[in-house]
Chain A
Amino acid sequence: DAKTTQPNSMESNEEEPVHLPCNHSTISGTDYIHWYRQLPSQGPEYVIHGLTSNVNNRMASLAIAEDRKSSTLILHRATLRDAAVYYCTYSGSARQLTFGSGTQLTVLP
């Protein structure tokens, strides 16, 4: 099974950068790393994905370690609307995504 490890919770001040870490030591060379986030009472929402090199989109940046055993989701300026549970995941040999417990991000005003 695809397995990831994330801290249970993190806090950030509004308008400051946030670095959310994830370990995925069992990932294979062809698996993309995906990040989703889940706001209260909503389904998970896609944030970003990448394979080897760092990725940027309008929501966030993804920094992937050279050995691909870990990655970091970077929110450049956290807002109150970014408060959510963030999941790092990959599909492994299965088609489905395997979610861990995620990181609960609290953004302080």
Chain B
Amino acid sequence: GAGVSQSPRYKVAKRGQDVALRCDPISGHVSLFWYQQALGQGPEFLTYFQNEAQLDKSGLPSDRFFAERPEGSVSTLKIQRTQQEDSAVYLCASSLYRIVSTDTQYFGPGTRLTVL
């Protein structure tokens, strides 16, 4: 069956450019998460959606980061005016339910963003 897919897999941007990263969650999954993973570190939470509602964006590092999930399925993470410190792997995960402690998150392969 289809898992979580992300595109592009790799993105190189010049400093100051805007980028958009796409996540296609598993069909029917209610919850969607974005994480940022720096080299050699574990993933760090960015934001969480329940269907189309963004319920938590406390992990977004600055107002240059924006995420949306307008129809409750596909999500886009947008980074405006990229900086070198934005270079990381951006992971998307989805889960079936409205987050209960037993829920399993299914991760996509990530988008590796390099800002030059």
Contact = CB atoms under 8 A, between A and B. Distances in A.
Contact of B42 (A34, A43, A102): A102
B18 interface: no
Which residue, B40, B45, B55, has most C-beta atoms of chain A within 10 A?
Answer: B45
Interface string B21-43: 00000000001010100001111
A87 B42 contact: yes
Q: Would you call the interface of chain A mostly helix, strand, loop, or mixed?
A: loop
Interface in A15-64: 30-32, 34, 36, 41-46, 49
Interface residues of B, number: 26
Contact of B48 (A43, A44, A96, A101): A96
A97 B105 contact: yes
A34 B87 CA distance: 28
A101 B56 contact: no
A95 interface: yes
Nearest to A1: B45
A41 B37 CA distance: 12
A85 B110 CA distance: 16
A2 to B, nearest CB: 10
B42 A99 contact: yes
A18 to B, nearest CB: 19
Interface of B: 4, 31, 33, 35, 40-45, 48, 55-56, 59, 91, 93, 99, 101-102, 104-110
Interface of A: 30-32, 34, 36, 41-46, 49, 85, 87, 90-91, 94-102
